[in-house]
Structure 1
Amino acid sequence: MLYTYRAVDQSGKTVSGEREAGSERELADMLRHDSYLLLEAKLPAKAGQRFEFLKRIPMPFRRISLVERMGFSRNLAVMIGAGLALTRALEALAEQTSNPKFREIVTSIRDSVTTGKSFADSLRSHEKVFGVLFINMVEAGEISGNLERALKILAQQMKRDYDLRSKVRSAMIYPAIVVGALVLIGVLMMVYVVPTLTQTFQELEIELPLTTRVIIGTSNFLLRYYWYILAVAGIGAMGMARLLRSQAGKSAFDTIILRVPIFGVLVQKYNSARFARTLSSLIASGIPITRALEVTASVLGNSHFRQSFEEAAKEIQHGKPISEILRRHPNLFPPMVTQMVEVGEETGTIVRMLLRLALFYEEEVTNTTKNLSSIIEPVLMIVIGAIVGFFAVSMIQPIYGSLGNI
């Protein structure tokens, strides 16, 4: 296979080219033999990748994706491990990235490091991009003199987080698409099909059953007041978005989500996996437990999980163990979580226990998303069949009734 690659030499100079290799690993070995370190390798674009060039279009407001940050962390760890100076490694990464916004940020960080600032302090100027977790892990790595290890842990952390998000997102996409398509088809039927049938019924002077009159009435309402409906929907959406940005609104929404069958369990397992892996990574990097709990709280999406760790960060300073604080929230943390954390605290193996919890709940998220798909699909089919059947019977019944009277 012909690979297009980017590599860096011992002086930090980036080179690119094409080379035949059986696999990416074989390509890396070939380049290493020539004193080059592989940064990126790509096969020729397939049909499904023909729009890849769109990613290179400059976008001032384009977000820095988790995948880009993950690649940055992993590649930086590899280059530092190979003996490159931090500034040269950052320069190579800036040249390699295809996102102009991210290239600008990495260049800014390199310039800041060149002036004598620490890597962590340079990252703090871009906290919204990298996040509190990333910066604290890097700072711990710099203090301990093991930045490479901290970056590897970060890359692994982000990879796990990306996998979890992808699984949860994929479980939600199918029902969202089906429901969206159902609503769109329903609106089109009400706006175009029903008025035509209504005119036919009027010409035939057919007596209409209640269900047919309800559908026709709904169609007339949509056609007559659609501007008002759109305005109310827009105002409602903006009001809901504003409410969810408030602390009270977010808390209420998170409470409702946790109580929804199946989805609530999925949210609980997802946040449990994230907290366990994040906290274990922070403690393993040498970050003080109080700060580790504060950072863990900041990365959790559900406000109730976040508040429980903020509470733990405050109370642990008074000598209370984490397990005792988590035990106060049985609706969030099952007995297994509190017991394993307690054992870890008592035996001094909390990092190992948290990693086991993370692996367990990551597997649980995978299983739950699979089960969710198998449950939702037949339910959606039943709902769609019922709606289509109701519409068909309601609109066709009067026609058959009139034919029977002829």
Structure 2
Amino acid sequence: MKRLYYWYDLDFNQHKIIAQSQQLAKRQLLLEGKIAIKIKAGAIITARSFHCADLLIITKQLATMLKAGLSIIDTLHLLVQEQPKPHWQYLLSDIKQQIAKGEALSHALHQHHSVFSPLYCEIIAVGELTGQLDESFEQLALLLEKSIKLQKSFKKAVRYPLFLLSVAMIVSLVMLLFVLPKFSDIYQDFDAQLPAFTQCIIDFSNNLQQSWLMWCIGFMVSYFCYQRYFKMRYRLQIEAMIIKCPIVGKAVQTSCLTQIFQTIAITQKAGIPLLTGLAATTNITYYSLYRNSILQIIAGIEQGYSFSHVLHQQLYFPNLCSQLIHVGEESGTLDLMLDKLAIYYQEQNQILIDNLSQAFEPLLMLVLALIIGSLIVAMYLPIFQMGDVIH
């Protein structure tokens, strides 16, 4: 983890530097022969500070300027001047300085591997060799745009259900911790036996009030155990169960297939060998099932089998994949078939996500009605017996 520091020279002009501590920032400036009369700490910078949306904009700008005939040094100089975010400004400036010293662009990008993926650097390296750096940036911009679109569609699908579940949880906790105890005090004044359902809810409310800290600790411990133990040890089994789910599983499968075929298609268009493209795909695939399948595909191709033959043996790749890949291999249009598969599964994923949202809405409304309705019935059920108690 690093931090942005603002330092001022003898003329009190402000400059920026990124270092792990203020002492290391001073040491770095001294090594560069610069004198800082004042250093002020700025924002903490991690890998998450460099958002994919910002990278997409910068990649598009690089592609446009290079296509217009500007050199990479001039392009980076303009981007540094126009960049409003200090951490991006410093990173681009550092890349420009490395290139000015004679480093290759791909090597300079690789120095910042937390921001630029191995696939990004590999495609840029191919562009440098072929002299088509502008086209390489265009392909990367297209890949990033599709990846961001895929992530946004998934987030859009889960945002509304998560919001409803959060509201249901908050309302339930408010009723159990604050509203129901007031009703409980009123019912005790009548010295009458409460309905079994109401008494059960009140007992649960009292238990929650007295041991809410234990509930929180139990939830945190359970979550920690799931993340650190069960998810790591039984990850493949959990993923297999998710993929077997009727609608959710298909949405996950099409999302993974879209990402995989988009990446391989881009690498093929960029002139990167198939095995290198497949290896790069393992770094961007979240699901271990598909990561293991790709590793098996790589091993099969290295043994001399065709891509379509090895793909046909994989359980989590539909037959359509191997059929179109076989046609691409026979006709010499593998990149075209990979692109068609990526487009097809992206369309299928969008349809499934829309259906997923529509399917979850009535189910969530039913869950909300059952939770909140049960609490309301439990509170007001004794009121219906109040007449008998008074008599």
Residues of 1 paired with 2:326 and 2:184: CA distance? 69
Residues of 1 paired with 2:172 and 2:108: CA distance? 53
Give structure 1 stretches of 5+ with no counterpart: 1-56
Give 2:338's aligned residue: 354
Give 2:245's aligned residue: 260
Alignment of 1:5-404 (within 5 A): 58-61=43-46, 62-243=48-229, 246=232, 248-330=233-315, 332-404=316-388
What SS class does the counterpart of residue 103 from structure 2 fall into? Answer: coil
Deviation at 1:334, TM superposition (A): 1.3
Residues of 2 paired with 1:279 and 1:221: CA distance? 55
**Amino acid of the structure 2 residue aligned with 1:327:** H
Q: In structure 2, do the counterparts of structure 1 residues 210 and 329 end up closer, same or farther at CA, with 3 Å as the change threshold? A: farther
Residues of 1 paired with 2:270 and 2:295: CA distance? 20
Deviation at 1:216, TM superposition (A): 0.9
Q: Structure 1 stretch 97-106 or stretch 77-86: which is displaced more?
A: 97-106
Residues of 2 paired with 1:79 and 1:249: CA distance? 48
State whether residues 207 and 398 of structure 1, in contact with CA within 8 Å, keep that contact through their aligned partners in structure 2: no
**Amino acid of the structure 1 residue aligned with 2:155:** R
Deviation at 1:286, TM superposition (A): 0.8
**Amino acid of the structure 1 residue aligned with 2:256:** N
CA RMSD of aligned residues (A): 1.7
**Amino acid of the structure 2 residue aligned with 1:228:** M
Deviation at 1:245, TM superposition (A): 7.2
Calculate the TM-score normalised by the size of structure 2.
Answer: 0.85
**Amino acid of the structure 1 residue aligned with 2:359:** I
Structure 1 runs of 4+ with >4 Å offset = none
Deviation at 1:163, TM superposition (A): 0.8
Deviation at 1:242, TM superposition (A): 2.5
Deviation at 1:244, TM superposition (A): 7.1
Deviation at 1:386, TM superposition (A): 1.9
**Amino acid of the structure 2 residue aligned with 1:68:** D
Residues of 2 paired with 1:74 and 1:241: CA distance? 37
Residues of 2 paired with 1:253 and 1:113: CA distance? 46
Deviation at 1:106, TM superposition (A): 1.2
Give 1:42's aligned residue: none
Residues of 1 paired with 2:124 and 2:298: CA distance? 21
Q: In structure 2, do the counterparts of structure 1 residues 144 and 168 end up closer, same or farther at CA, with 3 Å as the change threshold? A: same
Deviation at 1:336, TM superposition (A): 1.1
How many pairs does the alignment contain? 348
State whether residues 168 and 372 of structure 2, in contact with CA within 8 Å, keep that contact through their aligned partners in structure 1: no
Residues of 2 paired with 1:318 and 1:399: CA distance? 77
Residues of 2 paired with 1:312 and 1:329: CA distance? 8
Residues of 2 paired with 1:119 and 1:245: CA distance? 39
Residues of 2 paired with 1:253 and 1:134: CA distance? 31
Give 1:50's aligned residue: none
| CA distances 1:200-258 after superposition (whole Å, capped 9, x unpaired) | 11111232222112211111111111111112222223333334774x34434322322
| CA distances 1:123-160 after superposition (whole Å, capped 9, x unpaired) | 11111111122111111111111111111011011111
State whether residues 321 and 341 of structure 2, in contact with CA within 8 Å, keep that contact through their aligned partners in structure 1: yes
Q: Structure 1 stretch 94-103 or stretch 78-87: which is displaced more?
A: 94-103
Deviation at 1:116, TM superposition (A): 0.7
Q: Structure 1 stretch 123-132 or stretch 309-318: which is displaced more?
A: 309-318
What SS class does the counterpart of residue 94 from structure 1 fall into? Answer: helix
**Amino acid of the structure 2 residue aligned with 1:114:** A
Residues of 2 paired with 1:218 and 1:328: CA distance? 53
Deviation at 1:328, TM superposition (A): 2.1
Deviation at 1:162, TM superposition (A): 0.8
| CA distances 1:289-309 after superposition (whole Å, capped 9, x unpaired) | 111110012111111111111
Residues of 2 paired with 1:63 and 1:241: CA distance? 24
State whether residues 244 and 253 of structure 1, in contact with CA within 8 Å, keep that contact through their aligned partners in structure 2: no
Residues of 2 paired with 1:242 and 1:95: CA distance? 44
State whether residues 258 and 264 of structure 1, in contact with CA within 8 Å, keep that contact through their aligned partners in structure 2: yes
| CA distances 1:70-98 after superposition (whole Å, capped 9, x unpaired) | 11111001111111111111121122222
Residues of 2 paired with 1:372 and 1:67: CA distance? 26
Give structure 2 stretches of 5+ with no counterpart: 1-41
Residues of 1 paired with 2:249 and 2:362: CA distance? 20
Residues of 1 paired with 2:231 and 2:109: CA distance? 26
Deviation at 1:198, TM superposition (A): 1.0
State whether residues 50 and 88 of structure 2, in contact with CA within 8 Å, keep that contact through their aligned partners in structure 1: yes
Deviation at 1:178, TM superposition (A): 0.6
Q: In structure 2, do the counterparts of structure 1 residues 244 and 346 end up closer, same or farther at CA, with 3 Å as the change threshold? A: farther
| CA distances 1:149-181 after superposition (whole Å, capped 9, x unpaired) | 111011011111111110111000100111111
Residues of 1 paired with 2:384 and 2:137: CA distance? 72
State whether residues 243 and 250 of structure 1, in contact with CA within 8 Å, keep that contact through their aligned partners in structure 2: no
